[in-house]
Copies of this chain bind each other. A is one copy, B any other.
Amino acid sequence: MTRDSLIRALEAAESHCTERGEKLTPVRRRVLELVLEADAPVKAYDLLEALKPGPGAAKPPTVYRALDFLMAAGLVHKVEALNAFVGCSHAHDDGGAELFICSDCGSVEERHGAPDPVNMPDGFVIERSVVEHFGHCANCRH
Contacts and interface: CB of A to CB of B under 8 A. Distances in A.
Interface string A103-142: 1000001011111011111111111111111111110010
* Copies of this chain per assembly: 2
A37 interface: no
A119 B130 contact: no
A109 to B, nearest CB: 4
Interface size class of A (residues with CB under 8 A): 35 or more
From A100, A111, A136, A137, residue with most partner B Cβ within 10 Å:
A100
14 contacts: A80-B80, A80-B130, A98-B119, A100-B124, A111-B121, A112-B119, A115-B118, A117-B131, A121-B138, A124-B133, A125-B135, A125-B136, A126-B134, A130-B130
A1 interface: no
